């Protein structure tokens, strides 16, 4: 498995500077929480001027920084002049269907965490109905009686909200002035008292509200790290097993792509071809791949089985009975769901005391939000407090994400 040994020297642990002072101070700082999230909208196709604003505001201490993604790719706000970031809001000038249609998400980040907003879709619709000027003639309105313009929205979009603008986008009619009323049921524009200067071209502007996606895409990073408790056992064991089993495929790929193995595979293919035919080659090569998969699978599942019967059988006894050992879980603040874990065991080498980090595992749904750094930090703080000089950990070279994290946290190879 090609284990590597990673070391960190706590005495020279200039962690603050290594992380740019990016350490969340519990009780003082707080992670971002959305106050405003973007909503989906339909932009009238054919409008050459104009702009779209997607809202994003988050409460956070220290203040959050914002990034945007379209279809999962980062929006290059600084690079393209048609984008502007106003506070957290993304403004797109002169939006065009070919470039700007897509699913947008806002990311709010501070040193305590990151949150991802719901997805808001920008779609381009046909130009809203332009009513001929004679569709409404000047008329005398009596108290409570007025005129109205029908919006005739496109029927295939659900849950529209309606606004009207007069002559030019985006000079929206403000219903607040009392003379106007826009029905959010039909989209119709009602005018209580028509005046001669109301003559003009009226446009109905429709917006889709797709609140449905809110729940599934909202990821809150309000996590607490705490000591393991007995009632966490089931979740922790399942997190552990799944985390280890995830390594099966990467290790099969690793094994199959080594030069020796590639040579062997090629040799088998040629032998099979010479002995039988193309089918013979296929049978031998897939038999070989199957064998590699079987071995890797066995190796990891046996590792899991072995650990479930030893240290993970009684986590409290294995990791929490000595004052210098520890086992922590990270749980989501709202639901109290355990989504990550880490353990440390104190070791001795002559007079030197150091900690060994074990069982780092993060639920797949919570990766890439800085949880790994936080769990590692918990261990580093703990070991430092107890006067240990370094923390070591073993990892396999196929765990590239883990290695990148540990390097970022100051571990040396
Ligand atoms: C985003 O994906 C949609 C649907 O696949 C596509 O129509 C649109 O052009 C994409 N937008 C961008 C900016 O990549
Ligand atoms: C239209 O005329 C009324 C008075 O008749 C005035 O109060 C209002 O401001 C005018 N509106 C515009 C857009 O000029």
Ligand lying closest to the C-alpha of residue 70: 1
**Cβ(389)–Cβ(10) under 8 Å?**
yes
Nearest ligand to the C-alpha atom of residue 104: 1
Q: Kindly give the distance from the C-alpha atom of residue 207 to the centroid of ligand 1, in angstroms, as a whole number.
A: 19
Phi-psi label, residue 264: left if phi above 0, alpha if psi -120 to 50, beta otherwise:
alpha
Query: What are the tokens at 315?
Result: 């986590």
Q: Which of 82-96, 183-197, 246-260, 395-409 is predicted least confidently? A: 395-409
Ligand 1 lined by 255 (C-beta under 6 Å): no
* Strands in 111-239 per DSSP E: 113-116, 120-125, 147-149, 160-166, 180-182, 189-191, 202-208, 223-227
The share of the chain scoring above pLDDT 90, in percent, equals 17
Could you tell me if 64 and 87 are in contact, meaning their C-beta atoms sit under 8 angstroms apart? no
Q: How confident is the model at residue 259 (pLDDT cuts 50, 70, 90)?
A: confident
Any atom of ligand 2 within 6 Å of the Cβ of 195: yes
Q: Of 19-33, 172-186, 396-410, which gets the smallest average pLDDT?
A: 396-410
Q: Which helix (H) or strand (E) holds 396?
A: strand 390-396
pLDDT at 237: 94
- Residue bearing the bigger pLDDT, 113 or 21: 113
Position 105 scores a pLDDT of 94
Ligand 1 pocket: which of 90, 101, 103 to mutate (most atoms <8 Å of CB)?
A: 101
pLDDT higher at 203 or 237? 237
* Dist. CA 110–CA 96, nearest whole Å: 32
Taking the CA of 200 as reference, the closest ligand is: 2
Task: Determine the Cα–Cα distance for residues 356 and 347; give it in Å rounded to an integer.
Answer: 7
Q: What is the β-pairing status of strands 352-362 and 390-396?
A: parallel
**Ligand 1: which residue has its CA nearest to atom 1?**
102
CA of 173 to the centre of ligand 2 (A): 13
**Model confidence at 83: pLDDT above 90:** yes
The two structure tokens encoding residue 401 = 């994400």
Is residue 72 over pLDDT 60? Answer: yes
pLDDT, residue 168, reads 65
pLDDT in tens, 175-208: 766 778 887 777 778 877 667 677 666 776 655 4
Residue 100 or residue 278, greater confidence: 100
Helix (H, G, I), strand (E, B) or coil at 262: helix
The model's confidence at residue 2, banded by pLDDT at 50, 70 and 90, is: very low
Binding site membership of 178 for ligand 2 (Cβ less than 6 Å): no
Of residues 101 and 152, more confidence is placed in 101
Q: DSSP characters for 157-171?
A: S-SEEEEEEESSTT-
Residue of 261 and 413 predicted with greater confidence:
261
Whether the pTM exceeds 0.95: the reply is no
Alpha-carbon gap, residue 98 to 123, rounded angstroms: 10
Parallel/antiparallel/unpaired status of strands 390-396 and 3-9: antiparallel
- For residue 202, the CA-to-ligand 1 centroid distance in Å is 31
Q: Which residue has the higher pLDDT, 62 or 392?
A: 62
What's the CA gap between 372 and 357, in Å, rounded? 12
pLDDT of residue 312: 92
- Residues 25-40 have a mean pLDDT of 84
Q: 60: CA distance to ligand 2 center in Å?
A: 44
CB neighbours of residue 302 within 10 Å: 10
Question: E strand or H helix at 256, and its extent?
Answer: helix 248-257
| Ligand with smallest separation from the Cα of 171 | 2
Q: What pLDDT was estimated at residue 13?
A: 36
Predicted local confidence at residue 283, as pLDDT? 86
Cα of 197 from ligand 2 centre, angstroms: 6
Q: What pLDDT sits at residue 332?
A: 80
Angle at 306 between CA 304 and CA 310, to 5 degrees: 115
| pLDDT at residue 27, rounded to an integer | 76
C-alpha span between 132 and 351 (Å, rounded): 91
CB 40 within 8 A of CB 122: yes
Q: Which residues contact 86 (CB under 8 A, 6 or more apart)?
A: 53
Higher-confidence position of 23 and 114: 114
Instruction: Kindly report the average pLDDT of the chain as a whole number.
Output: 76
pLDDT at 159: 43
Helix or strand holding residue 259 (H, E): helix 259-275
Helix axes 233-245, 278-309, angle to 10 degrees: 150
Probe residue for ligand 1, chosen from 43, 71, 124 as the CB with the greatest number of ligand atoms within 8 Å: 71
Q: Which tens digit of pLDDT belongs to each residue from 316-373?
A: 999 998 888 999 999 887 678 899 999 999 888 787 788 888 898 888 877 777 778 7
| Residue 233 pLDDT exceeds 70 | yes
pLDDT band per the 50, 70, 90 thresholds, residue 209: very low
Residues 236, 331 contacting (CB under 8 angstroms): no
Q: Is the pLDDT of residue 410 over 80?
A: no
Atom of ligand 2 nearest to the CA of 197: 1
More confident residue, 167 or 7: 167
**CB atoms near residue 410 (< 10 Å):** 20
Q: Which two tokens stand for residue 389?
A: 């000089």
> What residue owns the CA closest to ligand 2's atom 2?
197
Give the domains, in start order, of the chain with CATH numbers. Answer: 34-125 (2.60.40.10), 129-218 (2.60.40.10), 219-413 (3.40.630.30)
Query: Whose CA is closest to atom 3 on ligand 1?
Result: 102
Q: What gap in Å lies between CA 185 and CA 69, rounded to an integer?
A: 32
Question: What is the DSSP code (8-state) at residue 138?
Answer: -
Assess whether pLDDT exceeds 70 at residue 224.
Answer: yes
Secondary element (H or E) of residue 383: helix 371-385
What is each CA distance from 373 to 12, 223, 401, in whole angstroms?
A: 18, 13, 12
Confidence of residue 397 (pLDDT cuts 50, 70, 90): low
Q: What integer pLDDT is reported at residue 218 of this predicted model?
A: 33
Ligand 2 pocket test: which of 172, 180, 195 has the largest number of ligand atoms within 8 Å of its C-beta? 195
Phi then psi dihedrals of residue 13, to 5 deg? -80, 70
Provide φ and ψ at 149, rounded to 5°.
-115, 135
């Amino acid at each position: 498995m090609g284990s590597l040994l990673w070391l960190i020297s706590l005495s020279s642990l200039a962690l603050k500077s290594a992380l740019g002072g990016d350490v969340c101070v519990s009780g003082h700082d707080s992670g971002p929480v959305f106050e405003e999230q973007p909503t989906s909208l339909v932009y009238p196709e054919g409008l050459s001027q104009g702009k779209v604003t997607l809202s994003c505001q988050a409460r956070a201490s220290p203040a959050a920084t914002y990034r945007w993604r379209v279809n999962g790719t980062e929006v290059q706000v600084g690079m393209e002049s048609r984008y502007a970031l106003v506070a957290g809001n993304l403004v797109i000038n002169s939006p065009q269907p070919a470039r700007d249609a897509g699913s947008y998400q806002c990311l709010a980040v501070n040193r305590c965490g990151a949150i991802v907003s719901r997805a808001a879709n920008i779609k381009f619709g046909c130009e809203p109905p332009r009513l001929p000027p004679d569709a409404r003639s000047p008329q005398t309105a009596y108290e409570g009686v007025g005129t109205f313009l029908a919006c005739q929205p496109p029927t295939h979009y659900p849950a529209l909200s309606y606004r009207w603008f007069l002559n030019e986008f985006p000079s929206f009619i403000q219903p607040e002035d009392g003379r106007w009323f826009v029905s959010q049921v039909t989209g119709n524009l009602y005018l209580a008292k028509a005046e001669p200067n109301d003559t003009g071209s009226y446009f109905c502007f429709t917006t889709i509200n797709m609140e449905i996606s809110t729940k599934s895409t909202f990821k809150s990073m309000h996590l607490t790290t705490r000591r393991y408790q007995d009632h966490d056992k089931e979740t922790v064991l399942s997190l552990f097993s799944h985390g280890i089993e995830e390594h099966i495929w990467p290790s099969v790929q690793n094994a199959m792509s080594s030069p020796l193995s590639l040579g062997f595979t090629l040799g088998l293919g040629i032998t099979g071809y010479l002995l039988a035919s193309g089918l013979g080659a296929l049978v031998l090569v897939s038999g070989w791949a199957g064998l590699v998969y079987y071995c890797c699978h066995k190796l990891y599942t046996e590792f899991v089985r072995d650990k479930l019967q030893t240290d993970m059988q009684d986590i409290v006894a294995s990791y929490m009975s000595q004052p210098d050992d520890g086992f922590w879980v990270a749980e989501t603040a709202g639901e109290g769901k355990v989504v990550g874990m880490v353990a440390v065991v104190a070791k001795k080498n002559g007079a030197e005391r150091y900690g060994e980090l074990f069982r780092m595992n993060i639920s797949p749904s919570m990766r890439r939000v800085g949880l790994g750094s936080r769990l590692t930090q918990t261990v580093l703080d703990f070991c430092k407090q107890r006067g240990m000089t370094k923390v070591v950990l073993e990892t396999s070279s196929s765990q590239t994400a883990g290695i990148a994290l540990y390097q970022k946290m100051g571990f040396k190879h």
